[in-house]
Amino acid sequence: MKEKKYVEKTYPVTGMHCAACAANVEKMLLRVDGVRSASVNLAAATVRVAYAADVTPETLMGQLAKAGFGLIVEEEDAAERQLRAERAYLRDVARRCVVAWACAVPVFLLSMVFAGAAPAWVVAVLSLPVVLWAAVPYYRGAWQMLKLRSSNMDTLVAVSVLVAFVFSLSGTLLPGFWLGHGLEPPCHYEAATMITAFVLTGKLLEERAKHRTGEAIRALMGLQPRTARVVLPDGTEAERPLAVLQAGDLVRVRPGEQIAVDGRVSEGHSSVNESMVSGEPLSVEKTTGAPVLAGTLNERGTLLVRAEKVGAATVLAGIVDAVKRAQGSKAPVQRIVDRVTAVFVPVVLSLALLTLIVWVAVGGMDALPRGILCAVSVTVIACPCALGLATPTALAVGVGMGARHHIFVKDAAALEQLRHTDTVVLDKTGTITVGEPRVRFHRAEEGYDAAAAAVLLAMERASEHPTAAAVAAFARETAGEAPVCIDAFESLPGMGVQATADGRSFWAGNDKMAASHGVSLATPPAAEGLTLTGFGCEGRLLLTLGIGDEIKAGSAEAVARLHEMGCRVVIATGDNAGAAAAVACRVGADEVMASALPADKENAVRCMQADGHHVAMVGDGINDSQALAAADVSIAMGRGTDVARSVAQATLMSSDLRLLPAAIRLSRLTVRTIRRNLVWACAYNAAAIPLAAGALYPLWGLTLTPAVSAAAMALSSVSVVTGSLLLGRKKLGTEA
């Protein structure tokens, strides 16, 4: 018997907006005969499916269409189509939210504040746009969950809205029925409209945050150029799309262009900015035989590159894939309220039904109106307003509080997870340090004066070396105002520069350049971990410079605060071991990982997690994106790359590392408030449900009408909002 051949592909999914949607997509696909596995990446809105070769993508698309989801199987412009669908959904939620509030406010005023000022049918008409249009997505969601024999927040919203509206409509259209049984005709349209308005507001905020998260991968993919200039066999050049490039092709890269392939320099000399991979600000000199990577920036000279890896095989493509894989491998973050409603929703619905049954069973059909009244009261008093507000109001206050302290938090996951952090991994350059090369050590010898400094300044201005700007800035402080004319300027790749002035030969460069002039560049203790540059005249050394990055003010204090909070601090950097160790010593870090590539940082984070640690990763560059995506909590520095900020769940806007312990404190306060809100909302409603069900009616004739239930519901919501507002009066204690 032949073994089945399986195809494994990733497809964009439309109409998927929550963890329940993701679970539904997987379940529906796994029902297709021939589908071996289906794994949803909610952050990227994609699904990776392994299916038999005889299963067509159109079959998968048709299966998902039954559940209301779309599958984009055409590869051409798939990302653009998915982005358009996401934006269209966001606009739709925004429109529904606006309409809901525009109708809910007058309905509330006419029902609660100016009761009796307008006929009931006017209030009913005002409620129709909310019930028949704005709340429709929740009806669909509840129907999908019903088909899967489950329930979620959509279920409770849909039931609460429909029951409150239909019940009120019966009072408006059939007032005689209620009056004939000695009851006031119900009119509680405000419950239906306000429920919808509140939950749509929360949904809008959630979708905006989710849309920003997807920008991370789109930004990464945008780093690679769409075309490359290929040198053809006859010596001519032509622009070719990346899709047709092959290993072995010769690609010309001009100054200011991004390199399109991984390969080696076949001809030319230039400086290449590789900060997206190494994270280091110093550009790297490239000569014949040197390796180059796709997505890096060629700064000055023209290079001829022999392609070794193209397309999906490049390091940049690997980073994109790793970010997607890391985001998808984490279980979708369930909001705390979802976990509560998983139990609360079916219990409430069961109690409402049980209330009706008991009333009819005890009092017969004459008790049916009273039973309906009590059942509706149970549903209304347990409506999700307080539950729905418990999380977003605390988050809104917490996010606002963070913003005042220059801490930007994107979603609930960061606030939920950050408080557990016991290990903090810090990138060095741009996170602990400033991220710009500067002269941090100098030792002048006899003969280094204003005239010599002027020569050095002129030479460095003409140089293309990555450290030239830092050396020139130092020389400018000593050089005189008189212009200096240098002759026979020559740049020696991998060594430095040399020139003549006033008949004397000057040179500036590394230890190789110094050795060629018979001079040794010894590293003084004060220059440990720095890049040494020498400047001399013929066989004499005039100046020794140590060039490196400067540690930010407050970095050492931030590490000390993290230690006080029980966190272990690890530095992971692409810089050399000496420079990394020097920085770690100065700030007091516990461990150092030097010469780390993006994949090394990700692996380190995963190893720490495997050892049971809860890891927060802090970085500012594209090279940190893999580790940021893999960490339990990802934090970017405000002056970092757009990609790092997009991947990260939180951003320290002022790039002051002292904000990190403040963010942990903010997390603890916010989650504590959310939990207190949820406990209060559930306990309050749970205590009121027996009253609404009529438990005290046989004893004292007391029960809660839907109107009183709606008021109790509103009081519960006010209590939750008040509790959240009190969070804003707390002090972070570790603010910068």
- Give the pair of three-digit tokens for residue 111: 């029902």
> Which residues lie below 8 Å from residue 19, measured CB to CB, with a gap of 6+?
42, 332, 333, 334, 338
- Ramachandran region of residue 62, left (φ > 0), alpha (ψ -120 to 50) or beta? alpha
CA nearest to 669, candidates 407, 471, 431 = 407
Using DSSP's 3-state secondary structure scheme, residue 66 falls into coil
DSSP single-letter state for residue 258: B
Contact 70, 13 (CB under 8 A): yes
Q: Which amino acid is at 335?
A: R
> Which residues lie below 8 Å from residue 84, measured CB to CB, with a gap of 6+?
none
Residue the block writes with tokens 């757009």:
642
Using DSSP's 3-state secondary structure scheme, residue 89 falls into helix
Helices (H), 297-384: 315-329, 336-363, 368-381
- Give the pair of three-digit tokens for residue 716: 């519960």
> Which residues lie below 8 Å from residue 525, measured CB to CB, with a gap of 6+?
none
- Give the pair of three-digit tokens for residue 357: 């049954």
Catalytic residue annotation? 427
> Which residues lie below 8 Å from residue 172, measured CB to CB, with a gap of 6+?
120, 121, 124, 185, 187
Q: Which residues pair with 297 in a beta bridge?
A: 258, 273
CA 129 to CA 150: how far, in whole Å?
A: 28
Q: Which amino acid is at 341?
A: T
DSSP letters spanning 204-223: HHHHHHHHHHHHHHHHHHTT
Half-sphere exposure of 26 (CA within 13 A, CB side): 14
Q: Which residues pair with 619 in a beta bridge?
A: 636
Using DSSP's 3-state secondary structure scheme, residue 118 falls into coil
Q: Give the phi and the psi of residue 521 in degrees, each rounded to 5.
A: -100, 95
